[in-house]
Structure 1
Amino acid sequence: MPKISNKGIKMPESPIRKLVPYAEEAHKQGKTVYYLNIGQPDIKTPDIALDAVKTHSLDILAYSRSEGSEAYREKIANYYKRNDINVTHSDIIVTTGGSEALLFAFGSIMDEDDEIIIPEPFYANYNGFSTASSVNVVPVISKIENNFALPPIEEFEKLITPKTKAILICNPGNPTGYLYSKAEIKQLAAIVKKHDLFLIADEVYREFVYDGVAHYSILQEPGLEEHAIIIDSVSKRYSMCGARIGYLVSKNKEFIKTALKFAQARLSPPTLAQIASEAALDTPQSYFDDVKEEYVKRRNILIEALEKIEGVKVAKPNGAFYCIAELPVKNSDDFAKWLLESFDFNNNTVMVAPAAGFYSTKGVGLNQIRIAYVLNEASLRTSVEILKEALKVYKD
């Protein structure tokens, strides 16, 4: 019998999606499942983006340029300028989602067995992208006790070896919702310049920052021009997860030239999705103001309710729309399955994402879950009530 590759065997399951069969079975049993596990916003996609696809005048749905259409990239560059990030269209490659942007970045800067340092917990698919690229994640642990702030920079320094090629952050963070400060970005900038590394920042949640704190991009930091790589996406910004459009942004010309070869190998990003995404750039600021206000309400409802549950510890996010909660259980993976298989409260249950899959270090985060507050206020209140009742009866 033909054998599967070692890389395929090592490829991790998604902690977000692996519980789907259990949720489907719960539905078959007549339960209502509240989905707190996945970052699919319930916010309406801007009409301007949907209308652009409905009214397009194309006769042939042709390939676009491998780096994305020039007109679209020029509009993206203007978007960045409005956010005090000074780039041109030639610094941008349009990708098939932020996921492809990350794969292109990994492929362009790292060879087999090279290393990338990432503060954990981190977006679970970073583990998958590293496996697919045959590179090694070197984790540096951030802790719920200090809200998942940047670990001491000395901890990064200890981990740097001749194989280290980059540091990767998500800002604001998935799964923690932590927003790195300007001072923390400057610390990272200093260390990547000292050791001649790349600094990759996944900034897909840039618009979603709260409590009057501003987002500070790595491309706003002077002197990082040759080191900085931004990963970006329309998925969460415009509630367009299904468009599968992302960006790779860097002022390092050699990096962009190299990444373009990967882009050429997959031909081009999807044409209709680029049309929608280009139109979305004209979304008025009022849309984002309303969305931010909604997420702040949801965050406050969720955090306040979780803090009232005995034995639960939660970090307060000030960006994105996720939080990490520590539960009085030994294994949140078992707990998450039990919620779907064996528990209901008034015929309702919840689906959560076990947090161990957001770590690279084995045995860490076993009693934590990630919650995405992408449900309306009433559903969030009901979800936390279900979680509270479940914890009363759950036995490890």
Structure 2
Amino acid sequence: MPSISKKGFSMPESPIRKLVPYAEKAKKNGAKVIHLNIGQPDIKTPQIALDAVKNNTLSVLEYSRTEGSEVYREKLASYYLKNEINVSAQDIIVTTGGSEALSFTMGSIADTDDEIIIPEPFYANYNGFATAMGIKVVPVVSQIENNFALPLIDEFEKLITPKTKGILICNPGNPTGYLYTREEIKKLSAIAKKHDLYLIADEVYREFTYDGKEHYSILQEQGMEDHAIIVDSVSKRYSMCGARIGCLVSKNKEIIKTALKFAQARLSPPTYAQIASEAALETPQSYFDDVKTEYVSRRDLLISELQQIDGIKIGHPHGAFYCIAELPIKDSDHFAQWLLEEFRVNGETVMVAPAAGFYASEGLGKNQIRIAYVLDKESLKRAVYILKEALKVYKDQ
């Protein structure tokens, strides 16, 4: 039998999706599964985006330009300007989701065995993108005890080697919900300039910041034109996860020129999804105001309910719609599978994302889970009750 590649063997499983077969089996056996594992909002997609696809008059579904529709990129540039990010359409490449933007970025800045420093825990697929590109993730640990704040700059500098090509952050963070302060962005920018590195920011949750705190982009920072790369997406902003439209944004012309070659290899981003995404840019601010209010309400209920469980430690998110909870168990992978296979409360169970997959350091996150508060408050309250009852009877393996 032909062999599988070493790269294929080393590709990590998604901690978010690897338990899907157990969830599907539970449902087939009659259980109701409450999904806390995946960031699929139940918020309605703006009607203007859906109508743009429904009412379009295309007679031929053609390829779009490799870098994405010029009209869409012009409108994206206007959107960024409203957010105090001064870029042009020529600084933007439209991608198939933020995922492709991350892959293009990694492929453009690093060669095999080069390194990218990432504060952990981080979005689990960063591990997958890096593995696919032959890049080494070098983690710098942030702690739940200080709410996953930026580690000391000294910790970053200790990790910089001749193979270090960049620093990657998610702001606000997945899986922690941590929102980097202006001062933290300035510190990261300074280290990127000092050591001639790229600073990559995954900013797909830009609109979702809470408690009076504001998002500060790396491209708002002066002097970062050659160093800053933004990864963005419509998936969470407009509750359009299935559109698979994102973008790579940089004022570094060499980055755009290089990423465009990767983009040419996949031809073009999807046309219908660009039509929807372009229309979504007309979504009124009231939509985001209402969504933020709803997420704050859900977050507050979730944290309040979790705090009533003995032995739990919780990170307090100020952005996005995730939190990390540390449970009084040894192995959250086993616990998550046990919930789906064996535990029910009146025919219901919950699906969570074990947090070890959000770390690169071996052994970290083993007793943590990520919770996505993308469900209505009644469902969240019920899910936490099921977790509470499960922890009363669960036996560590």
In 1, the alpha carbon distance for the partners of 2:29 and 2:311 equals 30
| Structure 1 equivalent of residue 27 of structure 2 | 27
Matches within 5 A, 1:41-120: 41-120=41-120
| Structure 2 equivalent of residue 317 of structure 1 | 317
| Structure 2 equivalent of residue 159 of structure 1 | 159
In 2, the alpha carbon distance for the partners of 1:54 and 1:157 equals 52
In 2, the alpha carbon distance for the partners of 1:60 and 1:29 equals 45
CA offset at residue 28 of structure 1? 1.5
Given residue 13 of structure 2, which amino acid in structure 1 is its aligned partner?
E
| 3-state SS of 2:235 partner | coil
Question: TM-score, structure 1 length as denominator?
Answer: 1.00
CA offset at residue 25 of structure 1? 1.0
| 3-state SS of 2:238 partner | coil
In 2, the alpha carbon distance for the partners of 1:260 and 1:72 equals 17
In 2, the alpha carbon distance for the partners of 1:261 and 1:27 equals 44
| 3-state SS of 1:318 partner | coil
In 2, the alpha carbon distance for the partners of 1:193 and 1:376 equals 44
Is 1:213 aligned to 2:191, yes or no?
no
CA offset at residue 219 of structure 1? 0.2
CA offset at residue 232 of structure 1? 0.0
Quote the sequence identity (%): 76
Given residue 150 of structure 1, which amino acid in structure 2 is its aligned partner?
L
Per-residue deviation, residues 239-262 of structure 1 (Å, max 9, x unmatched): 000000001000000110110011
Per-residue deviation, residues 55-87 of structure 1 (Å, max 9, x unmatched): 111110000000001100000000000000000
| 3-state SS of 2:168 partner | strand
| Structure 2 equivalent of residue 142 of structure 1 | 142
| Structure 2 equivalent of residue 200 of structure 1 | 200
CA offset at residue 111 of structure 1? 0.3
| Structure 1 equivalent of residue 340 of structure 2 | 340
Matches within 5 A, 1:1-396: 1-396=1-396
In 2, the alpha carbon distance for the partners of 1:94 and 1:68 equals 5
CA offset at residue 346 of structure 1? 1.3
| 3-state SS of 1:370 partner | strand
In 2, the alpha carbon distance for the partners of 1:263 and 1:30 equals 44
In 2, the alpha carbon distance for the partners of 1:145 and 1:261 equals 43
Unaligned runs of 5+ in 2: none
In 2, the alpha carbon distance for the partners of 1:329 and 1:263 equals 44
CA offset at residue 347 of structure 1? 1.1
| 3-state SS of 2:205 partner | coil
| 3-state SS of 2:137 partner | strand
CA offset at residue 283 of structure 1? 0.3
In 1, the alpha carbon distance for the partners of 2:108 and 2:28 equals 46
Given residue 189 of structure 2, which amino acid in structure 1 is its aligned partner?
A
In 1, the alpha carbon distance for the partners of 2:193 and 2:387 equals 46
Given residue 200 of structure 1, which amino acid in structure 2 is its aligned partner?
I
Aligned length: 396
In 2, the alpha carbon distance for the partners of 1:306 and 1:246 equals 34
In 1, the alpha carbon distance for the partners of 2:27 and 2:47 equals 32
In 2, the alpha carbon distance for the partners of 1:180 and 1:115 equals 22
In 1, the alpha carbon distance for the partners of 2:329 and 2:346 equals 23
Given residue 232 of structure 2, which amino acid in structure 1 is its aligned partner?
D
Given residue 151 of structure 2, which amino acid in structure 1 is its aligned partner?
P
CA offset at residue 96 of structure 1? 0.3
Unaligned runs of 5+ in 1: none
| 3-state SS of 2:108 partner | helix
CA offset at residue 205 of structure 1? 0.1
Given residue 64 of structure 1, which amino acid in structure 2 is its aligned partner?
S
In 2, the alpha carbon distance for the partners of 1:60 and 1:105 equals 32
Per-residue deviation, residues 203-249 of structure 1 (Å, max 9, x unmatched): 00000000000000000000101000000000000000000000100
In 1, the alpha carbon distance for the partners of 2:346 and 2:318 equals 33
In 2, the alpha carbon distance for the partners of 1:26 and 1:108 equals 43
In 2, the alpha carbon distance for the partners of 1:255 and 1:394 equals 50
Given residue 213 of structure 1, which amino acid in structure 2 is its aligned partner?
K
RMSD: 0.4
In 1, the alpha carbon distance for the partners of 2:85 and 2:43 equals 26
